[in-house]
């Protein structure tokens, strides 16, 4: 029987990447969330060939100095927590320190970053190994470019869908971000064609109108209710409009997008007496609970 051995870091990173990086949309989600955690007010996403060839995410957030830019590619290196107790009520999207090293292990990755306008740092890496670290002049913020995703994992690459399908998944992920973080400017393009251009929005209704039109936004009524420690707010579809085209369900808990059939079913029960059986309304709901009641560390 083979002896027990510690896996090389490159192999461990590729295994971790299987959890964090399922497809190009996973990469975009992780990079955009990193930008938001860095305090970005503007995020620009550029995608080529559905993300299979190239993904670039730029932000105007805090940026990193040279040491942090290099350290960011190490597993479990994070600025979000220092102890297990910090997980209770954590507000940031990321905290594990796994996203960048996992992405890097299955791609060619370049980070350009600066904590202030002027002197910055460029880190280039391939398949989990840093190839070069250079000085660069740039504005405050960070740009991460991911090229040739899964170039060293052909089995993973084989299961990627066509460019159109992968772009649709990326676009869907960005729409969720736009609904969750209405305070940011968000743009995205695919193969040189602008696809998403969103200015900051003052309300969820305003963001919905920017995404799907004022007519669609008018189908909703606002809800805002506090019951004990639970605060529920958002938009729910008018009974007369329920069942029309464009049904959408969007949920957040503590500002994090979630999927929860129990919450959806509970909300739909309120419609039982006013809409026909089988008709399902659109729901855009945001829940805030005590931090101790939410475990964000269930699964990446």
For residue 275, the enclosing domain spans 214-293
Half-sphere exposure of 151 (CA within 13 A, CB side): 15
Which percentage of the chain shows pLDDT scores above 90?
70
pLDDT at position 190: 98
Mean pLDDT over residues 125-139, rounded? 96
Mean pLDDT over residues 152-156, rounded? 91
| Domain contains 2 | no
Same domain, 44 and 134: yes
Domains held by the chain: number: 2
Please name the residue that has the structure tokens 């660069």. 136
Given a cut of 50, whether residue 98 has pLDDT beyond it is yes
pLDDT at position 273: 87
Dihedrals φ, ψ of 297, to 5°? -100, 25
> Do residues 73 and 167 touch, judged by C-beta distance below 8 A?
no
Mean pLDDT over residues 26-49, rounded? 97
Given a cut of 50, whether residue 87 has pLDDT beyond it is no
Given a cut of 70, whether residue 172 has pLDDT beyond it is yes
Six-digit token pair at 265? 């079913």
| Domain contains 181 | yes
| Domain contains 173 | yes
Task: Write the DSSP assignment of 111-167 as a string of letters.
Answer: EEEESSSEEEEEEEEETTEEEEEEEEEE-SEEEEEEESTTTT-HHHHHT---HHHHH
| Domain contains 266 | yes
Residue 15 has a CB neighbour count (10 Å cut-off) of 11
Same domain, 43 and 122: yes
Last residue of a domain, one of 167, 198, 229: 198
Same domain, 158 and 21: yes
Mean pLDDT over residues 286-293, rounded? 84
Six-digit token pair at 67? 């040491």
| Domain contains 99 | yes
Whole-Å CA distances, 217 to 19, 173, 248: 36, 20, 12
The helix/strand/coil state of 170 is helix
Given a cut of 60, whether residue 6 has pLDDT beyond it is no
Quote the CA–CA distance of 130 and 110 in Å, as a whole number. 10
Six-digit token pair at 113? 């970053």
Same domain, 30 and 179: yes
Given a cut of 90, whether residue 62 has pLDDT beyond it is yes
* Closest listed residue to residue 216, CA positions, set 194, 238, 200: 238
What does the pLDDT look like over 185-216, one tens digit per residue?
Answer: 999 999 999 999 999 999 999 999 999 999 99
Quote the CA–CA distance of 160 and 169 in Å, as a whole number. 11
Q: How confident is the model at residue 27 (pLDDT cuts 50, 70, 90)?
A: very high
Same domain, 128 and 266: no
| CATH classification at residue 269 | 3.30.230.10
Same domain, 167 and 283: no
């Amino acid at each position: 029987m083979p002896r027990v051995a510690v896996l090389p870091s490159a192999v461990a990173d590729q295994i971790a990447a299987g959890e964090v990086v399922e497809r190009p949309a996973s990469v975009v989600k992780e990079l955009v969330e990193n930008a938001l955690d860095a305090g970005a007010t503007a995020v620009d996403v550029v995608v080529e060939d559905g993300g299979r060839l190239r993904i670039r995410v730029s932000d105007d957030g805090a940026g990193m100095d040279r040491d942090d830019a290099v350290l960011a590619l190490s597993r479990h290196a994070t600025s979000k927590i220092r102890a297990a107790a910090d997980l209770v009520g954590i507000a940031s999207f990321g905290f594990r320190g796994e996203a960048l090293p996992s992405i890097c292990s299955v791609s060619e990755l370049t980070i350009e970053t600066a904590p202030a306008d002027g002197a910055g740092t460029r880190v280039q890496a391939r398949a989990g190994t840093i190839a070069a670290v250079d000085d660069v002049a740039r504005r405050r913020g960070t740009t991460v470019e991911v090229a040739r995703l899964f170039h060293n994992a052909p089995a993973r690459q084989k299961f990627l869908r066509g460019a159109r399908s992968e772009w649709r998944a990326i676009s869907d992920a960005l729409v969720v971000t736009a609904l969750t973080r209405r305070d940011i400017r968000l743009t995205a393009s695919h193969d040189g064609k602008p696809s998403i251009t969103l200015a900051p929005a003052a309300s969820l209704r305003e963001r919905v109108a920017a995404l799907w039109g004022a007519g669609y936004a008018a189908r909703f009524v606002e809800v805002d209710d506090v019951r004990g420690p639970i605060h529920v707010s958002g938009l729910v579809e008018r009974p007369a409009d329920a069942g029309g085209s464009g049904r959408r369900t969007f949920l957040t808990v503590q500002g994090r997008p979630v999927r929860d059939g129990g919450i959806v079913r509970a909300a739909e029960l309120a419609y039982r007496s006013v809409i026909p059986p089988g008709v399902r309304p659109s729901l855009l709901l945001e829940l805030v609970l005590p931090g101790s009641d939410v475990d964000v560390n269930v699964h990446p």
